[in-house]
Amino acid sequence: MSITRFGVSVDTDLLKKFDRKIKERGYGSRSEAFRDLIRESFLKEEIQKGTSEMVGTVTIVYSHHEMETDWIL
């Protein structure tokens, strides 16, 4: 993997909000957070287009000691 550096101009207030979010989420750097934002953007696009695989689960929680005939789906 090769790394390319580039500059980004950002409004000061937006950058302050971004820095707070970086701290909340525990990122080590702005670069790390920015990379995640880029990846998330591409992932959302793939999901909207239906070009990515998705995984889901169906979970049923019940008590085997009680008999219930009214199932809510």
Is the four-CA dihedral 67, 69, 70, 73 of positive or negative sign?
A: positive
The model carries a pTM of 0.62
Give the number of other CB atoms < 10 A from CB of residue 46: 13
- Kindly tell me if the per-residue pLDDT of 65 is higher than 80: no
Cα–Cα nearest to 22, from 31, 10, 30: 30
Over residues 2-54, the pLDDT tens digits come to 999 999 999 999 999 999 999 999 999 999 999 999 999 998 888 888 877 77
